[in-house]
């Protein structure tokens, strides 16, 4: 299974790609924005936001990855890597970067996570 992410407007949409559910713990850890009382974590927290709004949260998410990499608690990013080989912290980080670029390029489009 995977999560698909795209940016939409009334005229066209931009496919950002899909990301394996094996890495949902990583996404829940770094994409921690909670909108209103929804309590959504991970990529689902971005659903319905404009590209501009999501980009702001993604910058915070990338900073969370940096903090994990340099944590005094010695939390290793590799603990999130899927044991079956279908997903790694690196691939998840690159997906976040690709999504950030798409959101910055299309600030008025709406993020769909499905």
**What is the reported pLDDT for 46?**
92
Domain hosting residue 37, numbered range: 2-113
**pLDDT at site 71:** 67
Give the confidence band of 85 by pLDDT, cuts at 50, 70, 90: confident
- pTM of the model as a whole: 0.87
Taking each helix axis as running N to C, give the angle between helix 51-69 and helix 89-105, from 0 to 180 degrees, rounded to the nearest 10. 150
Please give the average per-residue pLDDT across 14-20, as a whole number. Answer: 92
So what's the pLDDT on residue 88? 92
pLDDT at position 96 is 95
Counting the structural domains of the chain, the total is 1
Segment 29-73, tens digit of pLDDT: 888 765 555 567 789 889 999 999 999 999 999 988 888 887 665
**pLDDT tens column, 86-105:** 999 999 999 999 999 999 99
Dihedral pair phi/psi, residue 112, rounded to 5°: -115, 130
pLDDT computed for residue 98 by the predictor: 96
Please name which of 71, 90, 66 lies closest in space to residue 80, comparing C-alpha atoms. Answer: 90
Give the integer Cα–Cα distance in Å for 105 and 88: 26
């Amino acid at each position: 299974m995977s999560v698909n992410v795209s940016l939409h407007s009334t005229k066209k949409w931009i496919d950002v790609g899909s990301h394996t559910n094996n890495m949902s713990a990583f996404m829940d850890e770094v994409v921690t924005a909670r909108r209103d009382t929804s309590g959504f974590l991970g990529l689902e927290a971005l659903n319905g936001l404009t590209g501009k709004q999501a980009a702001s949260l993604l910058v915070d998410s990338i900073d969370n990855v940096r903090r994990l990499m340099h944590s005094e608690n010695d939390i290793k990013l590799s603990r999130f890597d899927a044991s079956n080989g279908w997903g790694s912290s690196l691939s998840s980080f690159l997906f976040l970067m690709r999504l950030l670029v798409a959101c910055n390029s299309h600030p008025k489009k709406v993020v769909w996570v499905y």
